[in-house]
Structure 1
C-alpha cells in the first residue's frame, strides 16, 4: 500500500551504493563539472514479504556492519516481514521496486524465545558490558518476564538518501503501532532500542611510515581528533539528545582496515555501532523535533 509521496529537487543524484561501499570509493566532483539536477519522487509503502525480503535482509546486514555474521539475518527479516507487521519502505519505482530506506520495529520482549532474537539480545548485552549503567538497564528490560516491553527499531537507508524522509517514517511507525489490531500484545512498547552507526576519524597507518618529525606532527593531529565522531544517520543527534542512554561500541570483527575506508587526506575511517535507548514518550518528543529540524522539501 502506498502511504505518502515526498518530492525532492536536489543538486545531487541518489547513490545506490551501501554505506561501506561509499566510504571505499568516494565520488568526488571537480569544480568544472556542472551539478546534475535530479527530480525524485519518494513513495512510502508497507513492507511486502513477496518483494522486499532480500533488500530488507541487506539493510539489516549493513546496519550491523562487520558483525553481521553474528546476526541471524534471514530469521530477523522473516520476523519483520510477518503479515500485519508495522513499518515503512521508501521506493521510487512503485510497489515492485527496491527499497531505498526501511524503518520498522521488532518486539524483543514477545520474541525472546526465538533463537534469532535471543542471540541478538545476547549480542547487545555483550556489546554494552563495559558501560555498566547502560548494561544494567538493558538487562532489566530484556530479561524474561520483564514488566516492561521493549522494541528494537531497524532504520537503515542508502547512503545519500535525504534525512528529510526519516521524520515521516517515524511518525507513521507510531501511528501504525497505535492503530494495529493486535496493538495491546505486539506494539504497546515501553522502551525502544535504536541500532545505528557512527564513524570515527583515525590516524592512517600510512602516515606512521613517514620520518620521525612528520610522524610526531601527524600523531599530534590525530590525537586531537580521537574523540571526533560523525553520523551516518543525522537524526541520531535528535534521538541521542532525548534518550535515556546511548553509547558507541567497537565491532567484534574487523573485516576492513581503516585505511581501506580512507576518504580524507590524513585520516582513515573507523565505523562504530551506536545503541540508543528511549522511552515511548522520549521517542515521540524526538519525532516532533526531527520534523522541525529536518522539514519536508
Structure 2
C-alpha cells in the first residue's frame, strides 16, 4: 500500500468514476484500475461496487476512505511544505530513473553530481516499466530521466520542460546464442515468430511494445512480463524471447543488440514541469548532465 493508491481510491470515490478519476490524476484508466485492484487484493476486500449507473463505495470502502482521508491531508500538507517551487531550503530531488540511465553510464554522472553538491539529497525511483508521469504531475517526483511515451501519451505534455541527453539506436535484444545474434541489422518482420518479453501490462514500456506490434503487424506467439528489468533481461539471455531497447542494453546486460532496419533512434530525456524552471537544484543537475552527455558524443 502506498500514498499513490490511496490518492487513486479517494479520487474514484469523489468522482464516482474510474474514467474521471484517471483524467483528474493524469494517469491511464487501466493503470489506475490495476493499482486499485492490487490494493483490494492486499486488503482482502472490495472497495468499490460497479453498477450501470456509476461506481460506489462498498461498506468496507466507506470505512477505509474515512480512515485514510486524514492520512492524505497530512501527506498533502507535508508535500506542500517540502515542495515550494523555488524554496532552496528543500535541497532534495526525487528522480524517476529509467533503465537506460544505468546502461548509458548516466547514473555514474548522477553520483558524481551528488558528490560535488553534498548539500543536495536525492531519492531515486527505479521500478522497471513504471509510468513516472502521473507522479510528476502530482508532485511526487521532480525529474524524470527516461524516454517520452509515444505521441499523445501524456495529457499534460505542454506543461513539460524536455531536454535530450542521450541518443541511441533502437535494437532488438536477443540471446547471444540466437542464430541471428551476429546480424548487422534486423526488421520487425524477422521477429514475427518470437516470444516478446516486456514489462507489466498497462505500464509505459508495455504500451510502447503494444504500439510497435500494432504498427508493424506483429502477433507474438507468446508474451512474458515482469516488473524487474533484470528478470526481463534474464529471459532474453536464456533465449526465451526478444524485446526492444537501446543499443547500450546489449553490453550492459550481456545480450545481443541488433539495430533495427530501417534505423530508429531512441532518446533519453531530462524531463520536469515548467513551473519548476526556477528551481536551482534542477537547473544545476540538468546543466551538469548535459555537459557530461555532450562529452560522450
**What TM-score do you get using the length of structure 2 for normalisation?**
0.27
Whose helix proportion is higher, 1 or 2?
2
